[in-house]
Amino acid sequence: MAREFMLLDRIAHAGSRESGRYESAAEDLEALMDSVRRQLARLLNSRHGLSEAQPDYGLPALTDLVVGSGDYEQAVQRAIQTAIEKYEPRLRRVRVARVIDEDGGRSLAFRVDAVLVSRSGEHRVCYETMMSGGGQFDVSD
């Protein structure tokens, strides 16, 4: 069941069923990758303490990562990897790496390489994240 669409995805797609046939995310690799991408965006844009059920869901407040850390980028990188490993069970062997893009490293961007587990097997996937000026992460695949 962990390899299917997230609950909100299933509810959103409930009205789009044609002739009683509805492919689950496990049957459609592209839909599964898109579901994971949306979940990663929700996860990385959530902050610790916002969920009573899971107080450590998301990332710590980004200002908290600066305190006591000599390397802010490395602290964010570790926080992203830890959150994904804990809260996205469809991804295995997660690796997060800092990406320096054409702006010379002025923006904070990371590449997430992982193995996506589906009913059809294991698939190597890559997602790119970039933090906007407002502290929000955009996630693309």
Count CB atoms within 10 A of the CB of residue 39.
20
Which of 141, 129, 133 lies closest to 59, judged by CA? 129
Assign residue 120 the CATH number of its domain.
3.10.450.40
| Residues paired with 99 in a beta bridge | 109
For the chain, the domain total comes to 1
Token pair, residue 49, equals 């303490």
Q: Which domain holds residue 77?
A: 7-13+21-140
- Low-confidence residues in the chain, pLDDT < 50: 1-3, 18-22, 25-26
* pLDDT at res. 68: 52
Q: Answer yes or no: is 2 within a domain.
A: no
pLDDT in tens, 101-113: 776 656 789 999 9
Query: Helix 29-44 vs helix 72-87: angle between axes, to the nearest 10 degrees?
Result: 130
Q: Answer yes or no: is 46 within a domain.
A: yes
* pLDDT at res. 8: 59
* pLDDT at res. 6: 61
Q: Answer yes or no: is 92 within a domain.
A: yes
Q: Answer yes or no: is 1 within a domain.
A: no
* pLDDT at res. 11: 63
* pLDDT at res. 45: 94
Q: State how beta strands 137-140 and 108-118 pair.
A: unpaired
